[in-house]
Amino acid sequence: MFGVTILGNNSAIPAYNRHPTAQLVTLNNHAFLIDCGEGTQMQMMKYKVRHNKINHIFISHLHGDHYFGLMGILTSMGLMRREAPLHLFAPPLLHEIIQMQLKVADTTLPYELHFHPLTEEGIIVDHQNFSVTSFKTFHRIPCWGFIIREKKQPRKINRDQAVAFEIPVAYYDQLKNGADYETKEGVLIKNETVTTPNTAPLSYAYAADTLFDERLVEKVKNVSLLYHETTYLKDLEERAMARFHSTTIQAGEIAKKAGVGKLLIGHFSSKYEHLDEFLAETKSVFYNTDLAIEGVTYKV
């Protein structure tokens, strides 16, 4: 299971019961929180997301609608007696803001909080089952996107065949990694005879807040699912540019040029009550698009 649950889909000012940005990405047993607008901990309760599964938090940039809920989660985790270490990836200046707020409250967290300052593009988490990469987006202040990628899965064994060739079970791990097998009689059994390829590794790119810039295309090339902001409808392209945000059409074009599998759009301006035009406009450029709706989980 690899999915993205939307906890907040609105831009700066909350409106129409839409909340500021936060997403929970789940990959098998792992849970990642990406951005954390005000009220994220209440949204997590509402949608029955448990804190204690989260070991990594990624903050794209230091506009409040992307991080004002962070201190609340960090301290609630403490009050709930979390013990597991927590890894936080964020722009460097956030570290001091957190430390200062803990200090004035005379609070010591009961768990280790590892702060990883974002300073350059590249792999920031390298786990045996997944990796996380950071990339720069184009916003008014330094802003980071993130790609979470499954690692290449081992091949699947065709058990009937493997048994027929009397391949010892102890050798199965080597088969999964692509090795051929030589029988006692010296006959070579090619790997493809007894295994099939697993599904291709999936990937999710979160492109944070950004204006339209074709340099993004290379950064999110061929991901399975791309989240791209659409703060405005197409008629407000100038305003989008002036405020370092994107329109529906622009998000669709990035998705199309990058050849992504699917596009998810969000970060809707508070000026819009209804969202159907966002979907229609974006689909006119890139058909396989979904609106990011709070409480909904989208498969990667």
Query: How many distinct helices (H) and strands (E) make up the chain?
Result: 10, 18
Q: Which of 162, 163, 160 is nearest to 175 (CA)?
A: 162
Q: Are 129 and 28 in contact (CB under 8 A)?
A: yes
126 is known as an active-site residue: no
Interface with its own copies, residue 149, by CB under 8 A: no
Q: Write the CA distances from 68 to 40, 61, 65, 87, 255, integer angstroms.
A: 9, 11, 6, 18, 29
Q: Which is nearer to its own copies, 97 or 217 (CB)?
A: 97
Interface with its own copies, residue 140, by CB under 8 A: yes
Q: Which is nearer to its own copies, 63 or 87 (CB)?
A: 63
Can you tell me which of 47, 68, 115, 172 binds its own copies, judged by CB under 8 A? 68
- CA gap 206, 216 in Å, rounded: 11
Interface with its own copies, residue 71, by CB under 8 A: yes
Token pair recorded at residue 46: 């509402």
Least distance from its own copies to the Cβ atom of residue 10, Å: 11
| Stretch near its own copies under the rule CB under 8 A, chosen from 105-113, 175-183, 258-266, 274-282 | 105-113
Can you tell me which of 3, 55, 72, 257 binds its own copies, judged by CB under 8 A? 72
Can you tell me which of 62, 109, 279, 296 binds its own copies, judged by CB under 8 A? 62
- CA gap 81, 109 in Å, rounded: 9
Least distance from its own copies to the Cβ atom of residue 47, Å: 13
Burial class (CB in 10 A: 0-12, 13-18, 19+), 135: buried
Residues that bind its own copies (CB under 8 A): 12-15, 19, 38-39, 41-42, 45, 62-64, 68-69, 71-72, 75-76, 79-80, 91, 93-94, 96-97, 100-101, 104-107, 140-141
Question: Active-site positions?
Answer: 65
